[in-house]
Amino acid sequence: MLPVRTEGVIALWGSSDLPGVGDQVYPRVLERELHRRLPGWGIPLYTPLGASRPSVSDGGIVAVRLTGKHTAHVSVLCPSFALGADLGALYGTEEAKAAAPCFATEAAPTVLSAGVRLAGKTPTVLAVRDARSSARAGGHVPIVPHLGVLAGNLVERPALFARQRQLRQLGELPADRGFLLLHLTADLVAQVDLPALRAALGDREVLVMPTGPVPGELGDRVLPADLAFEDRIAALAAADAVIAADEHVAAVCAGLGVPFVLLDPSGEERWPVQEFAPSRVVAGDVPALVQALESVAAVEADAAKAAAGAHLDSLAIAAENLLAAGGEDPQRRIVDLVEENEALRVAHSQLRQRQVHERQVLMDQVVSVHNDLDKLRAELDHERELHRQLADRHQALAAQSGHAVRELDALRRTKLLRWSQPLREAYGKIKNP
């Protein structure tokens, strides 16, 4: 039983300003699950670049730039990247390094963790999501499965089916047949011979879901690289099976109940996946991938979901305790509200731009269909004219044939033809005895 709740603020330190599936799924799952456990709490999201780097793929999620100065009662680390990673290299800009202390391996005591990966040793995080990170933290840090296993209800089923139908209507998903979804990241593109991979998949219907540039030699249907998160979930849920390039897509597939195989030539992505899936779904190379796909099946992740839920319960209790220990709820600084308001404005602007973009895509489809309809109408009129001409020709030939038949019949009725019949028969016998 959780303690009686009073309103507090719990900040999520994440990476939703990056386009990856993991960058988007962690803050969404945490926001939903913590709101269930802490009703009335404010749960703002902070990222290294925040509203200064909006993208279509984030689906309009509101994020404030993380500077380490805010008035939340407790913060929860939830980046997709490993703590201690080079943010400048990840984001491609030196501006992101300002948030590096917040994602360093030496986390502050009041910073909790929703399950992270570690690039080095640290004794202060609350939970990690794989055994290797636990060992790097001294072996005493509990392991929590990837929160993507709780992603099954992020998009309501009616909305999920509606998005799938829209994607099929727009030609993004195959309309009337199953398909294999190939998830591509920049790392996998660098590590795998993609033409050889495509050849190994044979004549399967393959849909490529990238989170970056895609080589042109694949020759398959490719989803937009900046596809909104909800549409990515819809595409994953519609697939017969998924080739996952990282732990995040694998976890989401487990949460959705979609069969998947993790292609992990580097050996770095399998560690978190082993916490919620058997080793048979992990392939280190293309031949192993093809073999695993022959018997691929959905992963039973009930135990992982229960463990993740229990960890979120502990996060909620820890947040309540920290709020109680801090005494009366402090007034939030005006600067925090200004920052969040600005982030909200940017998010709304992005949503409007996304709506305009999607409307333009839809209109392009409508115009294309309308143009095709005009062309088909012209072709139909031409075919009708040809049919009319053929009908006229047929009538003319039928009239000629009738006239010839009547003339032949009249000839047969003449005396000359009747009287010459015996002579013609005798001549025929002499010529052909």
Q: Kindly give, in sequence order, each residue whose CB lies less than 8 Å from that of residue 46, ignoring residues fewer than 6 positions away.
A: 11, 12, 13, 14, 63, 64, 65, 66, 70, 75, 102
Using one digit for the tens of pLDDT, what is the confidence trace for 345-379?
777 766 766 666 676 777 777 777 777 887 888 88
Q: How far apart are CA 47 and CA 11, in angstroms?
A: 10
- pTM as predicted: 0.74
Whole-number Å distance between alpha carbons of 292 and 282:
8
Record the tokens describing residue 314, joined without a space.
Answer: 């502990």
| Topology, domain 149-294 | Rossmann fold (3.40.50)
For the cut 90, the answer to whether the pLDDT of residue 246 exceeds it is: yes
Q: For position 5, what pLDDT does the model report?
A: 41
Is residue 322 within 8 A of residue 41, CB to CB? The reply is: no
Rounded Cα distance, 393 and 303, in Å:
77
Reported as a pLDDT band with limits 50, 70 and 90, residue 290 is: very high
Residues 6+ apart with CB under 8 A from 375: none
User: According to the model, what pLDDT value does residue 336 have?
Assistant: 60
Is residue 281's pLDDT more than 90? yes
Which sequence spans correspond to the domains of the chain? Answer: 10-145+302-332, 149-294, 366-427
Whether the predicted pLDDT of 335 surpasses 60: no
